[in-house]
Homo-oligomer: A and B are copies of this chain.
Amino acid sequence: MKSSYYSLGIDIGGTNTVFGAISNDGLILKKDSILTRSSEDPGQLFDKIFEKNKVWKKELNNRYLFKDIGIGVPNGNYFTGMVKDPPNLGQEWQNLDLVKFVKKYQDIPVKITNDANAAAMGEKSFGVAKEMSNAVVITLGTGLGSGLIIDGKVFYGHDGFAGELGHIIIDPKGRICECGRQGCLEMYVSAKGLKYTIDDYLSRFPNDKTLLNLKDNNFDGKKMDELFDVGESIIQEIYEFTGDILGQGLAQASTILSPEAFIFYGGLSNAKHRILKFAKQSMDANLLGFQKNNIKILLSKLPDGEAGIIGASCLHK
């Protein structure tokens, strides 16, 4: 019986880690996920991943062999194989040689990149950006990450740190960011940013029942979308505010990159098209004249969690 070779693609997020066995042409043969937080340290997480791996192997009558491993992880550096100070991950992740660490489990080629670059790779290889030479993939979740596709390849900069669109400064006197600076895009446009915006609105309208209710329900995104859709004006205003700032950030990035499209992906899920309509208007209003109406805003068509693992699986190509 002939063996088939697969890549193990792993997408490590602050709350959830998705991993899968993926064929050369992007087919996901097996897929699973683990709550990252329940696996406090890297050892616990990778123990579970490689245990699951054994199960998969048996289920497939050992016909399936890994040739390499690709990992997307917050603050993962493609060049050094190191993870440094990733937000939302525990102590043992803060200065970790992840490539070396994973090779202890299985000594096959291991490459890492940051989670947004992995998503960009997935979009370029098998998604919306497949035919594009120049595009920006933006992951909208707890934070705002981005991966740059330049001349058909993911671009890392000279040190692996290119593409931090979440840290474009929108308002130098704005909200204080964890990065130590003020007014970063991510502090407005992300699940985290939306919470701050609702808090801001609450300080202006402390008795607003819609807002109080949202806060009591831990800022339930689905609920917000429903309220938006039935025309709740304060939620519409909040989404417009958020989209407006996002558009300013996209225009800033376009001044430098002039991409064919921005492609959105990630967990701020259903809100996306609601916010993105405002973002497109604001981007076009803020673009340089010759760029207006010439840069697209698109939604990823890859299922949530899949661009990341598919992209990670392509790191050895």
Residues in B neighbouring A248, C-beta threshold 8 A: 169, 172
What's the least CB distance linking A21 to chain B, in Å?
31
Q: Mark A243-264, 1 if CB is under 8 A from B, else 0.
A: 0000010001101111110000
Partner of A288 from the list B167, B256, B260 (CB cut-off 8 Å) is: B167
Query: How many angstroms from the CA of A302 to the CA of B197 in the assembled complex?
Result: 50
Q: A258 contacts which of B158, B172, B291 (Cβ < 8 Å)?
A: B158
Indicate if the CB atoms of B290 and A161 lie closer than 8 Å.
yes
CA of A115 to CA of B291, assembled, Å: 19
Shortest beta-carbon distance from A283 to chain B in Å: 13
Among B150, B167, B294, point to the contact of A151 (Cβ < 8 A): B150
Q: Does A175 have its Cβ within 8 Å of any Cβ on chain B?
A: no
The answer to whether the Cβ of A37 comes within 8 Å of any Cβ in the partner chain is: no
Chain B residues with CB under 8 A of A260: 158
What chain B residues lie within 8 Å of A291 (beta carbons)?
159, 161
Query: In the complex, are the beta carbons of B288 and A161 less than 8 A apart?
Result: yes
Instruction: Say yes or no for A305: interface residue by CB 8 A criterion.
Output: no
> Is A277 an interface residue when CB atoms closer than 8 A count as contact?
no
Q: Which residues of B contact A255 (CB under 8 A)?
A: 164-165, 167-169
Q: Does A231 contact B (CB under 8 A)?
A: no
**B286:A256 contact, CB within 8 angstroms:** no
CA distance A294 to B80 in the complex (A): 15
Of B157, B159, B258, B289, the residue contacting A180 (CB under 8 A) is B289
A163 within 8 A of B: yes
A179 close to chain B: CB less than 8 A: yes
Q: How many A residues, CB 8 Å from partner?
A: 45
Could you mark each residue 264-303 of chain A with 1 if its beta carbon is under 8 Å from any beta carbon of chain B, else 0?
A: 0000000000000000000000101111001000000000
Taking a contact as CB atoms under 8 Å apart, the answer to whether B134 and A158 are in contact is yes
Report whether B162 and A133 are in contact in the complex, using a CB–CB cutoff of 8 Å. Answer: no
A39 to B192, CA, bound (A): 57
Interface presence of A195 (CB below 8 A): no
- With a CB–CB cut-off of 8 A, which chain B residues contact A164? 255-256, 258, 288
Distance, CA A291 to CA B179, complexed state (A): 12
Q: Does A171 contact B (CB under 8 A)?
A: yes
> Are the C-beta atoms of B159 and A294 separated by less than 8 Å?
yes
Rounded to whole Å, the gap between the CB of A90 and the closest CB of chain B is 19
A31 interface hit (Cβ, 8 Å): no
Residues 151-202 of A at the B interface (beta carbon under 8 Å): 151, 153, 155-165, 167-172, 179-181
- In the complex, what distance in Å separates the CA atom of A174 from the CA atom of B289? 19
Contact A259 B157 (CB under 8 A): yes
> A85-B290, A170-B172 given. 14 additional CB < 8 A pairs?
A156-B258, A157-B259, A160-B258, A161-B290, A162-B257, A163-B258, A164-B255, A164-B258, A165-B256, A167-B288, A168-B256, A169-B255, A181-B288, A256-B256
Of the A-B pairs whose beta carbons lie under 8 Å apart in the complex, a sample of 6, sorted by A's number, is A135-B158, A150-B151, A150-B155, A162-B256, A170-B172, A172-B248
The 5 lowest CB-CB distance pairs between A and B, nearest first, are A157-B258, A158-B260, A162-B258, A134-B158, A161-B258
